[in-house]
Amino acid sequence: MAANPTKPSGQTGKMKKDESLLGKLGGTLVRKKIKEVSDLQEDGKNAINAPLLYAGPELLPEDTLLEENAERTILDPTSREDLNFKDLQKVLIDWINSELEEDRIIVKDLEEDLYDGQVLQKLFEKLSGHKLNVAEVTQSEIGQKQKLQTVLEAVNGVLRPLDWNTEWSVDSIHSKNLVSIVYLLLALAIYYAAPIRLPEHVSVKVIVVKKKEGILQTAHVTKHLTSTTTEMMIGRSERDAFDTLLDHAPDKLNVVKTSLITFVNTHLNKLNLEVTELESQFADGVYLVLLMGLLENYFVPLYNFYLTPESFEQKVHNVSFAFELMQDGGLQKPKARPEDVVNLNLKSTLRVLYNLFTNYKNSE
């Protein structure tokens, strides 16, 4: 019988085809395995190096260049755009410009205008009344840091008796750390009883970067910049006789109050007005405005203030207007805030009236 020549040939072709398919599959599997191993090695490499290289979307390259155990705080971009934080910066900028108006210094940006120590020097000298022994103009980084060192030592010396938590340093201010700059300005504003209304409950988020054993560690932290107005007022040290009187000599305080009542009534009686309670009767600003007119011998037009104020804003307007009249009369701008007088703060009211007493006590 003749053999079938096509059968073996078909089997051989099938075997070759199967071998080819297995070869392709094997090659694919091998290449896939090699790629998986390569990817795994790359992932492992990245996992090892990530802490050293991590910058994240919030960090700049210079923020990761730290010495061992060094730490840097960076403001979170979302907090930089926070409206309350922007409002706080505006209040502080306006306050600085008001204080340094005579020096013709205009601050527009806290980071760019305060980092070299020049404005901070002028501000502290104006608030404290003490001249610092520093060079007036310093262009070099070393000179700027030396000036900052002198200014911050003076500030910290003033705040030290209060155990103030200093959230600033020469390096943080000079590196334009906005949070540190704001903390420093808030401390000065509160300590020296700046006549401004600080926004309440302002907080920001910061990224704290620290290098430990060659590895960068990051953490997100919330910094509380301001609390309530009352709590911030407690932190004030206004360094005048009324603090001592209120805390330690209430009997002498009554003598001072009696003298001030006699003084204001000497003038207000001309309008058939009389004061018996200093805390409450000056709170709406009406008597303050009328008293200034009497002391300076002019009539205050009724359209300039609210004769019968009802809202908090109207009362603040009256007290603020009285403060303007005081400045027009040559007196320094009162340290007390109009809002504090309206809120029946005794020390604030006493300071305002005592300032009038010392300047007009000989007036008829």
Q: Please write the tens of the pLDDT for every residue from 257-270.
A: 888 999 999 999 99
* Cβ neighbours for 335, distance < 8 A, ≥ 6 positions apart: 192, 193, 194, 195, 238, 351
Q: Is residue 173 within 8 Å of 115, Cβ to Cβ? A: yes
* CA dist., res. 356 & res. 354, Å (int): 5
Per-residue pLDDT tens digits for 184-222? 999 999 888 787 888 888 999 998 888 787 787 888 889
* CA dist., res. 296 & res. 326, Å (int): 9
Stretch 116-123: mean pLDDT: 93
- Measured CA to CA in angstroms, residue 111 lies from 88, 89, 121 at distances of 14, 10, 15
- How many CA atoms lie within 13 Å of 239's alpha carbon, on the beta-carbon side? 11
Burial class (CB in 10 A: 0-12, 13-18, 19+), 303: exposed
Burial class (CB in 10 A: 0-12, 13-18, 19+), 75: buried
Domains of the chain as residue ranges with CATH? 74-233 (1.10.418.10), 241-361 (1.10.418.10)
pTM of the model: 0.52
The helix-helix angle for 250-268 and 286-296 (nearest 10°) equals 60
Measuring CA to CA, which residue among 186, 187, 182 is closest to residue 206?
182
Q: What is the pLDDT of residue 135?
A: 80
Residue 248 has pLDDT above 80, yes or no: no
Q: What is the pLDDT of residue 31?
A: 54
> Which is higher by pLDDT, 240 or 219?
219
Measuring CA to CA, which residue among 78, 152, 80 is closest to residue 115?
152
Residue 288 has pLDDT above 80, yes or no: yes
Residue 65 has pLDDT above 80, yes or no: no
Q: What is the pLDDT of residue 256?
A: 82
In the chain, the amino acid numbered 355 is N
Residue 154 has pLDDT above 80, yes or no: yes
Query: Which position has the token pair 């009997």?
Result: 251
Residue 97 has pLDDT above 90, yes or no: yes
Stretch 222-249: mean pLDDT: 61
Measuring CA to CA, which residue among 182, 74, 75, 179 is closest to residue 120?
182
Q: What is the pLDDT of residue 251?
A: 66
* CA dist., res. 340 & res. 329, Å (int): 22
* CA dist., res. 202 & res. 218, Å (int): 23
Stretch 82-106: mean pLDDT: 92
